Amino acid sequence: MHYAELKQAREELTGPGGMFEIVRTDVLGRDVLAYRNAPGSVRDMWRATAAFADRDYLVYRDERLTYRDAHRQVDAVAAWLWARGVRPGDRVGIAMRNYPEWMLAYWACVSIGVAAVGLNAWWTAEEMAYALDDARPAFLFLDAERLARLRERPGMGDGIGLIGVRLSGAEPDVTPWADVVAHGGAMPDADIDPDADACIFYTSGTTGHAKGAQLTHRGCVTNLFNMLYSGASTARAMELATGVAPPAEPPAPPVTLLTTPLFHVTANNCGAYLTTAAGGTLVLMYRWDAGEALRLIADERVSSMSGVPTMAREIINHPAFATTDTSSLLALAGGGAQVPPDLVQRIDAEVGTARPSTGYGMTETCGIITSVGGDFFVDRPDSAGPAMPAYETMCVDDDGNPVPPGAIGELWVKGAAVIKGYINRPDATAATITDGWLHTGDIARIDGDGFIFVVDRKKDMVLRGGENIYCAEVEATIYRHTAIAECCVFGVPDERLGEEVGVAVVAKPGATVSIDALRDHCAALTARHKVPRYVWILDEPLPRNASGKFLKRELRARLVPSPIT
């Protein structure tokens, strides 16, 4: 493989005068790496897209908005907020499904220096009340479902101006979206500090209250440049290796199918930012459905699908996949969770025009830390790829000391994309960020080419009789069984060994698998102590959170009291 060429491409692109030149700079008192040529703020990035005036921007069902339409509405929303005294440093909440209004409200907020607070649309009334009390937004854009949830707790929205999106009728104390847009007006002038909050996104923890991460303007545009660099470095490396220059004509604008919620960085900071900056089209879904996704891919000529890996697997496994025109797809996989190696191979083999790709990152880095795709991903399918050049990385032991090169430890990263902290949680901020180094909570190793291999979440590791067993490795083995559609591995308390390996699996439609057959499959491919002792074969999909990740703690709490052996 062309790893020497990838290194050369990195040096060319990030060196003095390069498109992605890297410099050291002070960010919030932290000496970090940053891109010299990145926009000064998200406002600058969004305003530049006015040049794409008549291109399609947002597609939702039978609705289509051009960039001209979007800028007109964004300007109007920003002017309406400004006229009501909202100023840089204030916060405005967004609580709705992936409607076009989500993106329009978001761009309006960040363009006037207001932090957009993305509220999880799956939250209960209690969770929603906590976040509103935590973030204290001046206004809240919300749809009918979230309005009904807010009404469940009298007083929850007191003091917050409510703007209703796609409501069926008039509601007391709620301003309709149409009235806000009818306000009209030009985009207000606003001076924006690069290190001011662009948005507050709540981490998707499954225990305790979620933490509101402060994603800055600098962090968000750094992540955009990380995404752009990833594609440019791979293309340049392949050109150096093959001698074949890319086509002289510019590529067609991307068409991205967003399948995960916009209140998470996978859809918003990665999928939406990258496509928007390139003048592409965002295709939105009301909810995830593999059959509907296939229809949209064919009808809208989708070139990439932004989602979690389980969605790519469902696309390939769907009965309509073989008869659907997917020839427009150039990339398939996404991020938000580790892509099992078998899925990398299946995408490469079964989707004729698409190459597998992934980005590993987290809310606390405004998006990706690493990215890999194409031949490099196929060659190292168990890797998350190299860290983007605006990061320093190291793996550390439990005491925070660097481990030897190639050894396993917790991954720490440092760079301009690392969040400022968590609102109202100085304790959590101090525990997560040390001298600018973000503790990812992921166990990883870094090879000689700088590729990062994420072994597992630090707390998802099964410790069986003193042996460390990494859940991702066991899941990758189970996915090699042809009957398995979904699986989730976790630790089960054991009096003798401390923990045993447990797994919940769902078979593909029409397929069957027995517990003994699954154990025999694992025993043939991995060490005996890694073979699951506890197996649950379920007939309904595994529970997921709003971003599509399996809820391991929920599964464990539900299943462990009565294991099937």
Reported as a single tens digit per residue, the pLDDT across 117-168 is: 999 998 888 889 999 999 999 999 999 999 999 999 999 989 999 999 999 9
* DSSP assignment letter at 89: T
Query: What confidence category does residue 204 fall into, taking pLDDT thresholds of 50, 70 and 90?
Result: low
Asked if pLDDT for residue 529 goes beyond 90, the answer is no
Asked if pLDDT for residue 282 goes beyond 70, the answer is yes
Closest CA relative to residue 259, chosen from 215, 220, 314: 314
Query: What is the percentage of the chain residues whose pLDDT exceeds 90?
Result: 82
Asked if pLDDT for residue 14 goes beyond 60, the answer is yes
Closest CA relative to residue 391, chosen from 229, 172, 168: 229
**Which domains can be identified in the chain, with CATH numbers?**
3-40+216-457 (3.40.50.12780), 62-193 (3.40.50.980), 462-559 (3.30.300.30)
pLDDT the model gives residue 44: 98
pLDDT the model gives residue 213: 97
Kindly report, residue by residue over 411-425, the tens digit of the pLDDT. Answer: 999 999 999 999 999
Contact 276/253 with Cβ under 8 angstroms?
A: no
Asked if pLDDT for residue 503 goes beyond 50, the answer is yes
Q: How far apart are CA 259 and CA 265, in angstroms?
A: 12
User: 563's torsion region: left (phi>0), alpha (psi -120 to 50) or beta?
Assistant: beta
Phi, psi torsion values for 202, nearest 5 degrees: -85, 135
pLDDT the model gives residue 139: 98
Contact 367/265 with Cβ under 8 angstroms?
A: yes
Asked if pLDDT for residue 275 goes beyond 60, the answer is yes
Kindly report, residue by residue over 326-345, the tens digit of the pLDDT. Answer: 999 999 877 777 788 889 99
Query: What confidence category does residue 256 fall into, taking pLDDT thresholds of 50, 70 and 90?
Result: very high
Q: Name the average pLDDT for the chain.
A: 93
Asked if pLDDT for residue 6 goes beyond 60, the answer is yes
User: 111's torsion region: left (phi>0), alpha (psi -120 to 50) or beta?
Assistant: alpha
Burial class (CB in 10 A: 0-12, 13-18, 19+), 195: middle
pLDDT the model gives residue 562: 56
Contact 45/218 with Cβ under 8 angstroms?
A: no
Q: How big is the chain, counted in residues?
A: 565
Query: What confidence category does residue 310 fall into, taking pLDDT thresholds of 50, 70 and 90?
Result: confident
pLDDT the model gives residue 466: 63
Closest CA relative to residue 532, chosen from 559, 494, 500: 500
Q: Which residues pair with 305 in a beta bridge?
A: 257, 332
Contact 140/129 with Cβ under 8 angstroms?
A: no
Asked if pLDDT for residue 554 goes beyond 50, the answer is yes
Burial class (CB in 10 A: 0-12, 13-18, 19+), 435: exposed
Q: How far apart are CA 10 and CA 26, in angstroms?
A: 23
Mean pLDDT of 94-110: 98
Q: Which residues contact 485 (CB under 8 A, 6 or more apart)?
A: 313, 314, 317, 506, 507, 508, 509, 511
Q: How far apart are CA 256 and CA 275, in angstroms?
A: 7
Query: What confidence category does residue 565 fall into, taking pLDDT thresholds of 50, 70 and 90?
Result: very low
Tokens coding 250:
């510019």
Least confident of 33-47, 245-259, 462-476: 462-476
Burial class (CB in 10 A: 0-12, 13-18, 19+), 486: buried
Asked if pLDDT for residue 563 goes beyond 60, the answer is no
Query: What confidence category does residue 347 fall into, taking pLDDT thresholds of 50, 70 and 90?
Result: very high
Mean pLDDT of 511-538: 92
Q: Which residues pair with 351 in a beta bridge?
A: none
Asked if pLDDT for residue 458 goes beyond 80, the answer is no
Tokens coding 535:
């197996």
Kindly report, residue by residue over 223-240, the tens digit of the pLDDT. Answer: 999 999 999 999 999 999
Kindly report, residue by residue over 49-58, the tens digit of the pLDDT. Answer: 999 999 999 9
Taking the CA atoms of residue 456, residue 458, residue 461 and residue 464 in that order, the dihedral angle to the nearest 10 degrees is 140
Asked if pLDDT for residue 506 goes beyond 50, the answer is yes
pLDDT the model gives residue 145: 96
Tokens coding 557:
């709490």
Kindly report, residue by residue over 16-39, the tens digit of the pLDDT. Answer: 999 999 999 999 999 999 999 999
Query: What confidence category does residue 207 fall into, taking pLDDT thresholds of 50, 70 and 90?
Result: very low
Edge-first strand listing for the sheet containing 255-258: 63-66, 56-60, 281-284, 255-258, 304-306, 331-335, 355-362, 367-373
* DSSP assignment letter at 387: B
Q: How far apart are CA 463 and CA 514, in angstroms?
A: 26
